[in-house]
Amino acid sequence: MKKLLVVVISVFISFFSYGQETIFEETTTIYANETSGGIGIHTNGFMGTFRYGKYLTGFSKRIYEIEIGNIKHPKEIKSINPFENDVRGYVFGKLNYFYVVRPSIGYHKVFIPKQSIKGVSVTYVAHGGLSLGLAKPVYLNIQEEEEGTNNKIIVRRKYDPDKHDQGDIYGRASFLNGMDEIRLYPGLFGKFGLHFDYGQRRESLRSVEVGIKTDVYLEDIPIMAFTDNNPYFLNLYLEIFFGSRKVE
C-alpha cells in the first residue's frame, strides 16, 4: 500500500507541475459553501471523511472536517488456524483495534485554477485539529482444558500475550466483545496535501486528494505485543471526494 501511495502522489505532482506553464485566467463563479464526502486509504489503514466548506474568496475557503478511520501496526500479519475449518483469521500479538475520530479545521487555496470547464484545478490543503483515538481490546476464541477433565473446550477470552500461545488460539471472536472496555486516547492531528478537482460541472465537486498526515498522542498506543508501540503515526494518504457547491 505504501508503494501505491508513493507512485500515485509522484505521478500527480509531476503531471500538474508540468501543466502550470499553460495556465491562464478564467471567469470564476463565487460560491458560498460546499459539502463533500470522501473515502480513502493511508499507509496503515482506511478512512472516511465529511467536509463542509465556507468560501472566503473565489479561490480560498475554510473547511470544517470530521474524519473517521483505523490505524494498524506496520507489523500486523494475519494468521489462521491450519487445523480447523470455518474459523476467523486473527493477528497474533494484536492487543487492540485502534480507531481514530479527527475533527479539524482547514484552509484550502487554489493555486492552479481550471483552464476550462473540463480542466483540473489544484488546491493546497492544510488542516489541524484533534485526534480522538479509541482502542478496543481484541477477543479470541481460545482452546482450554475443561476443569476436572482432559477435554478441550473453546472459550472466549480477551487476548493476553502472557497466557495465550499461538497454538492455543482457535480463531478471532466477535468484534462486539470488549465494546464496554474501549479506552480513549486524546491527541492532536495535522495534515497537508494537494487536492485535484476534475469535475466537469462547476457546481459539482469530483476530486482526488493526496498528502501526508500525522497523529500525536500523550502515550504509546498499545496495538501490538512483542514489538514497539509509538505515541505518533505518520501516514501518506489518498482520498476520493464527491460533493456539491452552492452560490447561497
Range 168-185 average pLDDT: 94
Q: Is residue 156 part of a domain?
A: no
**Cα separations in angstroms, 120 against 56, 90, 97, 135, 237:** 21, 43, 38, 40, 20
Residues 227-246 as b or e (16 or more Cβ within 10 Å = b): eeeeeebebbbbbebebebe
Residue 23: band (very low, low, confident or very high) from pLDDT cuts 50, 70, 90 = very low
pLDDT of residue 178: 95
The model's pLDDT over 193-231, given as tens digits with 9 standing for 90+, comes to 999 999 878 788 999 999 999 999 999 999 999 999 999
Q: Is residue 157 part of a domain?
A: no
pLDDT of residue 3: 58
Q: Is residue 80 part of a domain?
A: no
Q: Is residue 10 part of a domain?
A: yes
**Cα separations in angstroms, 167 against 82, 127, 164, 176:** 10, 46, 8, 24
Count: domains in the chain: 1
Cell of 186: 486524546
Q: Is residue 226 part of a domain?
A: yes
Residue 170: band (very low, low, confident or very high) from pLDDT cuts 50, 70, 90 = confident
Cell of 44: 496503515
Domain of residue 52, residue span: 2-72+99-134+183-246
Q: Is residue 58 part of a domain?
A: yes
Q: Which residues lie below 8 Å from residue 96, measured CB to CB, with a gap of 6+?
A: 135, 136, 137, 138, 221, 222, 223
Closest CA to 233 of 167, 189, 197, 195: 189
Query: What CATH number has the domain bearing residue 220?
Result: 2.40.160.20
Query: How far is the C-alpha of 243 from the C-alpha of 13, rounded, in Å?
Result: 23
Q: Is residue 91 part of a domain?
A: no
Q: Is residue 84 part of a domain?
A: no
